[in-house]
Every structure is written in structure tokens, then in C-alpha cells.
Structure 1
Amino acid sequence: MKKKRRACEFEKAMTNTPISAYVAVNKENGIVGFSCFDASFRNFFGPIGVSDEYRRSHIGKELLLYALYGMKEEGYGYAIIGWCEEKNKLFYEKNSDAIIIPNSFPGVYKDSILLSK
């Protein structure tokens, strides 16, 4: 379900004007990662994904930073990372100075159809 949810959010970000999605490709032009913002809710970063074989190569960090800079260009003063698995919190804290807001999940996702499936 997580892949389907991320695919829906990526498609939404690709239809935004301006487009709010970034894609990383390898030398063969194969997609190895992506990041988005304004996909589910305005001012929200995500989702982000990197193929397993390309993890730990700084692609995720670059995709995160491109999206955050894109949000800054759109006039956002800060970004909300609305859905973060426990295992990924250190990534965001280290690469973006993110601050975890306790008890903030599910927040705006509470009534999400995709969350309940």
C-alpha cells in the first residue's frame, strides 16, 4: 500500500503548476529516486523514495534538499514533513535540521482514505 500511496502523491505533484516533484536518474536514464512537495497538502514535503541499490549514496539527501529549496522558492517559510517512519527520523534531523513534533501523527492524515486501507 505504501508504494501505491507514494505513486498517487507523485502523480499529484507532477500535475501541480509549477511541478513540485524531482526525479533522480542513473546514467541509463532509469529513475532511481524522487521527491515531492504539495502532493497531499500544501506546505507538506514528501513523499521521497530512493531505489535500494542507490541508498547511502547521498541521492536521498539531494532530493530532500532540492524539494526544500523548491518550497522556499514557492514562498514557504518552513516545510512540514507529515509522515515519517521511526527508522527515517535521523535522516531528516541530520539533513534538514528537522524538529520532531511529538504526537503529531496522524494529524491531517487522520481522515485519509489511503491511510485507512
Structure 2
Amino acid sequence: MEEGWYFSAERVDDLPASTFVDVALSRRVPITCAPIMAYFSERMHALRPDSLSSQDEFDHLVALECSLETRLKAEAGAVHAGRCTTAGCHDFHLHTAAHTPIAATAAEGDGGSSGLCLQHGAPP
């Protein structure tokens, strides 16, 4: 699949935000093979004064994101859509075909050290 990643510095609820989105997915909407929207949310531990991630934390978050993407692609056919960092939280957004592997992956997290939690839902 063609990827077209786009970075943007924005504001969410009047706080600084950093988004990274695969805009090439817009050519595939709706994603019929993966109709369930999901996101993992991790509370950050080493914030900068503007509530975005420090460089040390960023490196950890990118490693976690790569690990989740690889596992969910293999286990649930997940399609990684992007991430948003704001207000001390890092959200990993994806689309998938099944809830069950996502819930199991969220429960496993990264050994329980990250504070990873899961919220998911189906598009309207």
C-alpha cells in the first residue's frame, strides 16, 4: 500500500498538539477490510513544559508505536492511520477487522510499564 505521511503542529483544546497522519488512506475510504476504528492511548511520563513529549519519551513512544503496528497488522489485519500527541497523552490511531486481538494487545501493552489503555468503536 502506498503511504503518504503528513506531520502537523496544531492545537487541540487550546493546547499544543503534534499529529502524524497517513493521508494516502483517504484514497481507500471506507476501509472495508478494516471497518473498526480503534486507538491506543498512553499517558506520557516525561513531558516538556508545553505538555508534548520530551526527546527521551518520544523515542520510547515511537518504539511502542512500531511494536503495536507490527503486532496488530499480523494479529488483526490492522491499518495504522496515525498518531496525535497532546496534553500529556499519546494516541495511536488505527483501523482493524476485529475487536478481540486489539483488546488482547492492549491488555499486554508493553509489559504493563507504559500505562497503555484502549478505546475503540465502529464508525457510524
Question: TM-score, normalization: structure 1?
Answer: 0.31
Larger helix proportion of the pair: 1
Q: Which has the higher strand share?
A: 2
